[in-house]
Structure 1
Amino acid sequence: MKKALLGLLVLFISTLSYAQGGKTITGKVTDESGASLPGVTVAIKGTTSGTITDMNGEFTMKTQSDSDILVFSFIGFTSQEFNTAGKSTLKVILREDMTDLDEVVVVGYGQVRKSDLTGAVASVKAREEVARQYPSVDMLLQGRASGVQVIGDGGPGAALSVRIRGANSLNNSNEPLYVVDGVIINSATEDADINNGGDSNELPAAQNGLTGLNANDIANVEVLKDASATAIYGSRGANGVVIITTKQGESGKDQMPRVNIYSSVDFSEMTKKIDLLDGVGYANYQNEYSAQQGNELKYHVEEGVVYPLADDGTGSFVPVYDAPYVSKDWQEEVYSMGVSYNAGASISGSNGKTKYYFSGGYTDQTGIVETNNIKRGDLRLNLSTQISNRLKLDTRLSLMYQDGSFANGGSKSGGTRSFTKQVLGYRPLVGTYDPDQDIDDDLEQSNPYSWLTDYKDLTEEVRSNIATSLTYDIIKGLKYKLDLGVDYRNKERSRWYGTELFKGAQQNGVANYSFLKRYSYSINNLLMYNRKFNKVHNINATAGVTYDTNQTRSQLYEVSDFLIKTLEEEVPQNGAFAEVPFAFKYKDETIFSVLGRAIYSYKDRYIVTATFRSDKSSKFAPGNQVGNFPSASVAWRAMEESFIRDLNVFDNLKLRAGWGLTGNQGMPPYQTLGTYANVYYVQGGNTVNGYVPERIPNPDLTWETTEQYNLGVDMAFFNNRLRSTVDVYYKDTKDLLNQTPIGPSNGFKSIWQNRGGLENKGFEVAIDGTVYDKNGWSIDLGGHISMNKGKIKDLGLAPETIYKNGEAIEAVYYLGNNVSSGTYFKFPANIFMEGEEIGVFWGHETRGVYAPSIVDYAALYGQEVADKYATMFEPGETIIVDHNDDGEISDADKTVIGNPNPDFTYGLSLNVSYKNFSLSALFDGVYGNEIINGYNMELAYPEGQPKNILTEAYDQAWRSDAPSTTYNALGYRGNQTTLPDNLVEDGSYFRMNNITLSYNFKVKDFAGIDNVNIYATGRNLFTVTNYSGYNPQITSFLYDGMINGVDWSGTPNVKTYLMGINVAF
């Protein structure tokens, strides 16, 4: 852990100043264990001249006189001075300053000494050259922290889902709280509810709300996991907290400006293809089906070329040889190499009283689809000024501008017309003879080319974040701190469906416009006390009041029937209002809070932490607005006991235990109020304005609460070369805020209620160590594994009869959301049942394809079953288990067919350095989860429809002369009404997340350059998995808690090759 911490804190920037005279001094800087220290500042006392040590802790510099005093300083170590008189070589050993090291851990509303931590907190570390590669900060969490699962495809601007210790809620968001420099910011979920005029077949891709934060500006990331750590955030910390601190200038007198410039370019390509029929295979498939149905053949195949057939006027169909079809592999045609650029610079320093950090960055990221592109520019200014001995002002400003273009579908894809679905399903033959080649009305399909040329999804966004704090030292140990934070976001999004697309052709062009404007600001008034008494008693206390408000304004309107058919030339006034002409959403939320935390330490050995927060939320009705959230935890630094030290086993041993209560008020506002919404509709050719009730209000709604227990131990062995952290936890969530289904006679589908409860329990183990550190080599290994099991305890509903494992039981349950509103998958995939894990798969159990000519079913299942199969199924149909034995297949025969929740997740890391070379590698994986392969809902069935299918599905289809028990007969369409268990696949995977090789050049006397670092990176270079889809890390329905584990046309995963350079002055 020490190596990772030092690597994160090193600033690879310095300035060389050379004067005439003096002499050359060389040397090496190590810690007390002999490990080299890179990045140590070596300065001539009283001047700004100096250098920094290289990756091996070595330095070379020229002094100004023969007796200059050199000052060696590094964060976490005590500074030392050396007189150079009579010396040309120095060997410097720096000793750890435990006070500095302990204070680098950032927690809610302050910092605590690392030794005083009693909760479960993970520090996310990454080398600078690795961190700056990522377009968003949440991607840095992948594989780097135990108990944290990150899901996303990494496409330009794509949203990610982050879960800490499982799901705490069924209907509400399970995303953690993000706090950047003390300001709470919103992530991508605020985009997720703006769909395309209510048409679930055209679901837009949710976009990442954290992309405005440049990863190169990050100093450290802390993940607060248990209630004793998160309860200080009350109702906002139920899902965990990610605290991000940005960089600032170094402390000290008159630090000369340090300039850092970086640039990189990367190339991305899809990691795998789905094996589909080519043009000839598709023509043979369609012809075979046509012949089977007694119809005319559709194509003529001759010497590997496909020709159309046309009536010659006599009723005979003959080939049209002058108009051959062109065979298209749509995956090859539309998925190409994505090229991205990233560049930026920073300058930092100090004049004694003021520390400053200023940076700017630019990113141009293009995905594997040419219309997927993000261009983003960002600026940041961090200032810290000591106005007087008692008064300090800190200001952190950031500004981001971004515009983007997206292909249809993505993180929230799943519509029957998403881009991925068209690429896979559209027929692979294109020819000038076919006048309807672009659009198939029956299948709602469009030529994938049309999605590139006649579909637009454009965004433009401005985001600003301001964090200002004023700290006043009242008396020794007592401070008052005033925090002011603002997060502003303004986003416009426009989508265009031209007449070459199914939707646009139906309505003569459709344009969809949405606007999102959000203001979020916070005021914190804090009193902080930190004193040590009699050398054994240490008190660190914080008390305060906070006020947070969030104002969101969003609009959506859709127009159609245009005169001009391009988005760039068209304006809304030229179209007529379509189905949902206007949708306005006004959301005002406020929370007023009182909070406190006290940490008491005796002899730095026994630590007690107590926190309390009381939140008053505007989302609830009077009488239910206040929620109280206490926590308590203790720690015993057993290593400080003599009987533990005398064992000569541990270098560190700390035992921790904690309990806490957190809340959740994540439902939309106004659910307790009977509000009305304005609607527009067409009557008599005119647009009419009206008002309708928005919901059935529930004034009795109250806080969803989670009670959590945590036990942990921190250990170190072999002179701190091996370090480990183990945590076990239990979480009990009650009064779930759920959207409970109600009868249609009420006029609404559901009502928000406090109903039900669930639990999560699990363990986390993290290990890292230095396995070798000699002769210029340093090798560090790390790994973590996490297990979480969530179970529904109570749903507050009446039991019903269902089948589970072939037996009828009485169970309390409700079903998830329909996956689609199209022809396929227009039913739920998940069931939420008491006693089961969250969102297990609910469908029909199967016994393969009915093939009585080659399978003796009587020998397998008995004569009675064999006779029933003969009456219920035709050869070539899927055998579906009739659980209730009524001779029919219906919803009553459904049962649990799989589980989307993993048994455990894990990550592995490797860091190697030799002289100026360094190599880092990160692997991550998931084991035990299952996935519904939604692609195969269509691709694995030879229905005979004019669309493409898997090569295997046609080649191995059941035929009377070649019966198969794997794939159905041509023309079988039972997949349109059932969810069979043969669509459930193993979702486990092991992936190379990142591997980076870098080299540090020692640059002397050249243009003031101090350090040049070049690096090459590969991301997602390989994935070991049994899943047959594009990506086992599925991205469909990221923020819909009622659809879990369904891969419904998620975008392909990509592997990336990157080269970059960093120059420090």
Structure 2
Amino acid sequence: MKFKLITVFVMLLSYIGMAQETKTISGTVTDTADVPLPGAQLKVQGKEIFTVTDFDGNFSLEEVVEGDTFKVTFLGFQPTDITVGSQDQYNIKLQEEASALNEVVVIGYGKAESRDLAGTISNLKAEEINDSPTTSALQAAQGKLPGVQVVNDGSPGSVGNVRIRGAISVLGGADPLYVVDGVITQDISGIANSDIESFDVLKDASSTAIYGARGANGVVLITTKSGKGKMKISLSSTTGINTLVNGVDMANAQEYARYTNEALVRGGNEPAFSDAEIGGLQTTDWMDQITREGLYQNYNISVSGSKEDVDYYVSANYLDEEGILKDNDYERLTVRLNNTYHLTENIRIGHNVSLVRQRGFNPSFSNFTNAYKQSPHIPVRDENGNYRSTNVNNVGNPVANIENNKNVNEQVRILGNAWGEIDIFDWLTYRSSLGVNVLREKNRSYGARYIVANESGNQINNQNQILTIRDYDEERFNWDNFLTFDKKFGKHDINLTLGLTSERIASEELEAARRGVPPSDNLLYLGIGEQEGQTITNEGDRSSRLAYFSRLLYNFDKRYVFNATIRREGSSKFAESQRIKYYPSFGVAWNIDNEEFFSNQDFLSNLKLRGSYGLVGNDRIDSGLFLQLIDFSAYPFPGGVAIGGSSIQQYDENLTWETTTELDLGIEFGLLDNRLSGEFTYYDKQTDDILFPLALPQTSGDDSFVTNAGSIQNTGVEFALNWSDASESGDFSYNIGFNITKNENELTNINPVIANATPFIDSGDLENGQIVTRTVEGNELGTFWLYKTDGVFENQTEIDNSAQPGAKVGDFRYVDTNGDGSITQTDRQYMGSYQPDFYYGINLGVTYKQVDFSTSLFGNSGNKVFNGLRAQRFSGENIDSDLFGERYTAGNTNGGPAAFNEVPLPSDYYLEDGDFLRVNNITVGYNFSENILEAVQLSRLRVYATAQNALTFTKYSGFNPELPRGILDSGLELDAYPTTAKFLLGLNIDF
């Protein structure tokens, strides 16, 4: 019996030994197109056996046994579990995430699946940006992201203004924080569209709180491309023209002369033109004289891939654009090098570096205003070749201004980081990154001497031979160090990030000017000018920040999500007692579609509820505003001189951060196997302690006093809906998307902490002694503040019974709002702002075999714009043909004023609806078939034609209803760039 037991025991040990025999397995990991996936991670569950694929996607796992299960993961692909069998070779294909609702998005200091997040994040795909014929990705984003408003003036090199869920600050700016590959910057004009891999926008406090004092305006995260797989060479070229669209019909020479005569006679003066002269006048189209069809060129080359232990991406991009305004040119060269070096399986270092050189030739946009206003009866030059003007008005000759005034801006920027990353365990990673953002900028402005002839003789430009040189240097460094814990315990997924970040900013500006510098492109130096009357200014700023942060991403069984963040921030821009702030946030989400009861239906394929709450800050002000500045001077007294000091700056030693508290509630859904998907979000943002420049009484000695003096609230809803489908054969596919955002903005409170301080800000300067906007409690930022008109006076009796006893027949009849019998500023009314009730976008794409078509539209509704071109009058300026036709005469009472030469009061007559719908992009492309590609040994060959901004539907009478300016004066058309369309041909080649 004992022998039998021993025999059984030995056999059992032998069996166990055989069952636990280890072996080495190997194979490849590729995508469904057999493209190798270097860097894919393979982890044997329950054991410390881990590896990553090499640059060809190859892997090997040692000491595994049959029955082991290993998980294969790669960013952007569905994780796959493989069970070890009897074979030793495994060729694994990973499927891409099929649903956008499961996509991996970039978040602050990391990445995550969107279904594991409780915040609100919008993103653009790389293909939506890479081939876009725009200067920046921001323009490519117009109308495509709910809650994100991009307003662009269309000039070469312009990036555009971005408003994420409304403006929340008066002094602290409204643009979001930009983070490019982990490097903080305020300018992304040098980022080539073709280099962008992902474009993610963090909108709610749950997402942005990890950036603390930088996140109140939202955060735009841009990730540039990296190399993977076999070598790939990509070439792209886009060429075409810029042209003026949406022109304004101006009065011709005869209409102008009649209008001018009527205005002079009404003012008690002699007419300037006789009837005989009027009949023989020739018309000069001044807008045509200063504009052109400008050439647009954009070329890109990139080489990417993996070799041995290096992933590489190298690119060069050249952009050259001529604006529609003559001599308005922009040139940019961008070189990028993104490398990752795999030192071991667990240690990686790398860098993402770009060098950008930009040069812009920038004639003043006031030339558009001058072309609008200049008399059409005079030629550009007289028979002697001298520039012409007229003594009927004081408008400059815009052609002379462009040809004799030069403004050149040159920039060199280095933007990038060097980083290292180590996998301490397969679930714990440490990363350190040093970001560098260095700018060197030089601006030269020169005005030459030239002669202008008018009816009174020749005039020499008295602002002549002035050279102004401005040098600006800026350095920004940020050093990030953080640990990421990412592990799954049964049904519990935990991702924890702990970090430290520091930032240092230094800037200096030196500007000098001299007269008498000879006109020579090679000798424009201050040293050869006149010393008398020279000016020199030198300014600078220094600041630093230090922050600790932590973030928890937790989900249970892919159903219940909890996110929490806290950041402790310190900024040198405030006094020591106010220097530290804490920014917490938390969010929850419920993925209902993962519940068991949800599996009994097939109509809804995705359903997620989410909500978040948090605090973010804003410290974007000049350093030292909390300091008292003293001016020490010598004062003569009998028997000697005394030194005395006086305050030259009112200050608030308790100046502190602006703080935004935000509530965000949303629902995301997918229907019909996610062919139809969408989201609806409600948000409420309350910004307290806003930094406000209170206007002071003149007796104080200062113009304004910056302090924390009020609150701003933005509430709104965002809605997005997308449908995509394809035929079973795959020959035909299409998608259509729509998004709309409603935002309500209000300055809810102003607390004038100083007696007699003025609790409002006037802005929107017409440069004729009038302003058009006022920011005051109870209204939107930058609300139009105007006189209300009630038609025009048609007889003397109406004038005698009015509050305007000095008016003439044909003058505006202004409403006496307060009934005091006179028209003063107290009669002005608040009449809306440039901030729209709604802004929206429509996007459509269709593919049939090798042909693709796409179009995108965006628009505003419910906003107001002020036609400053019409309203900025002095005497004798030209008018547009509609204003000429509407003018009051004995036989025409259509509501417009009679011809006049006086400076008009800013009234609602010049305020118009700013609604517009713009066809932002129309593209038709052709992809050559695989047979042709194989014959020419290419992996991609595509040709396409694009029209950008070709159509704008609006009732606005000016050149452009899209009018970005400052926070407090947007929507005023004055010295603005007219609507510009691009018509382009493009080519994409991949080897």
Alignment of 1:428-827 (within 5 A): 428=376, 429-430=378-379, 432=382, 438=388, 444-500=394-450, 505-533=461-489, 535-560=490-515, 562=516, 564-566=518-520, 568-576=522-530, 581-675=535-629, 695-775=649-729, 776-797=731-752, 813-817=759-763, 819-820=765-766, 822=767, 824=768, 826-827=769-770
Tell me which amino acid in the other structure corresponds to 2:954. T
Q: Cα distance, 1:487 vs. partner?
A: 0.6
Q: Cα distance, 1:296 vs. partner?
A: 6.0
Within the candidate set 912, 916, 933, 1:985 is matched to: 912
Instruction: Give the Cα separation in 1 of the matches to 2:632 and 2:535.
Output: 11
Instruction: Give the Cα separation in 2 of the matches to 1:670 and 1:441.
Output: 49
Alignment of 1:288-327 (within 5 A): 288-289=262-263, 293=268, 295=270, 297-298=272-273, 301=276, 305-306=280-281, 327=283
Alignment TM-score, normalising by the size of structure 2: 0.85
Tell me which amino acid in the other structure corresponds to 2:270. N
Determine if contact 2:858/2:919 at 8 Å carries over to the other structure. Answer: yes
Tell me which amino acid in the other structure corresponds to 1:789. E
Instruction: Give the Cα separation in 2 of the matches to 1:1018 and 1:572.
Output: 45
Instruction: Give the Cα separation in 1 of the matches to 2:963 and 2:646.
Output: 38
Tell me which amino acid in the other structure corresponds to 1:831. R
Instruction: Give the Cα separation in 2 of the matches to 1:349 and 1:390.
Output: 20
Counterpart of 2:189 in structure 1 is 211
* Change beyond 3 A, Cα 1:436–1:890: farther
* Structure 2 counterpart SS, 1:174: coil
Instruction: Give the Cα separation in 2 of the matches to 1:719 and 1:263.
Output: 38
* Change beyond 3 A, Cα 1:700–1:898: same
Q: Cα distance, 1:511 vs. partner?
A: 1.9
2:896 corresponds to 1:964:
no
* Change beyond 3 A, Cα 1:846–1:479: same
Determine if contact 1:812/1:833 at 8 Å carries over to the other structure. Answer: no
Instruction: Give the Cα separation in 1 of the matches to 2:866 and 2:664.
Output: 34
Counterpart of 2:777 in structure 1 is 834
Within the candidate set 937, 944, 948, 1:1015 is matched to: 944
Q: Cα distance, 1:132 vs. partner?
A: 4.1
Alignment of 1:11-410 (within 5 A): 41=35, 76=77, 95-96=95-96, 104-125=104-125, 127=127, 131-187=131-187, 210-250=188-228, 255-289=229-263, 293=268, 295=270, 297-298=272-273, 301=276, 305-306=280-281, 327-409=283-365
2:369 corresponds to 1:421:
yes
Q: Cα distance, 1:137 vs. partner?
A: 2.1
* Structure 2 counterpart SS, 1:949: coil
* 1:704-727 residue CA offsets vs partner (Å, 9 max, x unmatched): 100000011111110111111111
Determine if contact 2:602/2:672 at 8 Å carries over to the other structure. Answer: no
* Change beyond 3 A, Cα 1:211–1:97: closer
Instruction: Give the Cα separation in 1 of the matches to 2:278 and 2:787.
Output: 44
Tell me which amino acid in the other structure corresponds to 1:470. G
Determine if contact 1:765/1:784 at 8 Å carries over to the other structure. Answer: yes
* Structure 2 counterpart SS, 1:816: strand
Q: Cα distance, 1:301 vs. partner?
A: 4.3
Q: Cα distance, 1:785 vs. partner?
A: 0.6
* Change beyond 3 A, Cα 1:678–1:490: farther
Instruction: Give the Cα separation in 2 of the matches to 1:885 and 1:97.
Output: 68
Q: Cα distance, 1:848 vs. partner?
A: 1.4
Alignment of 1:842-881 (within 5 A): 842-852=785-795, 867-868=801-802, 871=805, 873-881=807-815
Q: Cα distance, 1:1009 vs. partner?
A: 2.0
Instruction: Give the Cα separation in 1 of the matches to 2:980 and 2:626.
Output: 45
Alignment of 1:1037-1056 (within 5 A): 1038=965, 1040-1056=966-982
Tell me which amino acid in the other structure corresponds to 2:295. V
* Change beyond 3 A, Cα 1:843–1:107: same
* Change beyond 3 A, Cα 1:289–1:874: closer
Alignment TM-score, normalising by the size of structure 1: 0.80
* Change beyond 3 A, Cα 1:348–1:757: same
Tell me which amino acid in the other structure corresponds to 1:543. L
Q: Cα distance, 1:569 vs. partner?
A: 3.7
Instruction: Give the Cα separation in 1 of the matches to 2:296 and 2:304.
Output: 27
* 1:628-675 residue CA offsets vs partner (Å, 9 max, x unmatched): 100000111111111223243321111111000001111111111234
* Structure 1 counterpart SS, 2:363: coil
Determine if contact 1:130/1:996 at 8 Å carries over to the other structure. Answer: no
Instruction: Give the Cα separation in 2 of the matches to 1:149 and 1:513.
Output: 35
Within the candidate set 911, 919, 926, 2:845 is matched to: 911
* 1:540-570 residue CA offsets vs partner (Å, 9 max, x unmatched): 010111110111111222222x152456544
Alignment of 1:1019-1030 (within 5 A): 1019-1030=948-959
Instruction: Give the Cα separation in 2 of the matches to 1:356 and 1:909.
Output: 34
* Change beyond 3 A, Cα 1:955–1:905: closer
* Structure 1 counterpart SS, 2:604: coil
Within the candidate set 818, 830, 839, 1:896 is matched to: 830
Gapped regions of structure 1 (runs ≥ 5): 1-29, 32-36, 51-70, 82-91, 188-209, 307-325, 410-417, 680-690, 802-810, 858-864
Gapped regions of structure 2 (runs ≥ 5): 1-29, 38-52, 58-71, 83-91, 453-458, 634-644
Q: Cα distance, 1:588 vs. partner?
A: 0.8
Q: Cα distance, 1:300 vs. partner?
A: 6.5
Within the candidate set 867, 884, 899, 1:954 is matched to: 884
* Change beyond 3 A, Cα 1:380–1:930: same
Which deviates more from structure 2 when the two are superposed, residues 216-225 or residues 99-108?
99-108
Counterpart of 2:42 in structure 1 is none
Determine if contact 2:432/2:481 at 8 Å carries over to the other structure. Answer: yes
* Structure 2 counterpart SS, 1:1030: coil
Tell me which amino acid in the other structure corresponds to 2:134. Y
Tell me which amino acid in the other structure corresponds to 1:226. D
* Structure 2 counterpart SS, 1:542: strand
Instruction: Give the Cα separation in 2 of the matches to 1:499 and 1:163.
Output: 42
* 1:945-987 residue CA offsets vs partner (Å, 9 max, x unmatched): 333222233344323x325352322335250xx2111111000
2:902 corresponds to 1:924:
no
Q: Cα distance, 1:605 vs. partner?
A: 1.0
Instruction: Give the Cα separation in 2 of the matches to 1:459 and 1:353.
Output: 42
Q: Cα distance, 1:841 vs. partner?
A: 1.1
Instruction: Give the Cα separation in 2 of the matches to 1:792 and 1:128.
Output: 36
Which deviates more from structure 2 when the two are superposed, residues 1041-1050 or residues 782-791?
1041-1050
Identity across aligned pairs (percent)? 29
Determine if contact 1:99/1:113 at 8 Å carries over to the other structure. Answer: no
* 1:25-55 residue CA offsets vs partner (Å, 9 max, x unmatched): xxxxx99xxxxx8x76389xx99999xxxxx
* Structure 1 counterpart SS, 2:801: helix
Determine if contact 2:696/2:758 at 8 Å carries over to the other structure. Answer: no
Determine if contact 1:830/1:842 at 8 Å carries over to the other structure. Answer: yes
Determine if contact 1:454/1:499 at 8 Å carries over to the other structure. Answer: yes
Instruction: Give the Cα separation in 2 of the matches to 1:304 and 1:1029.
Output: 28
* Change beyond 3 A, Cα 1:101–1:947: closer
Aligned length: 903
* Structure 2 counterpart SS, 1:41: coil
* Change beyond 3 A, Cα 1:946–1:838: closer
Instruction: Give the Cα separation in 1 of the matches to 2:664 and 2:745.
Output: 16
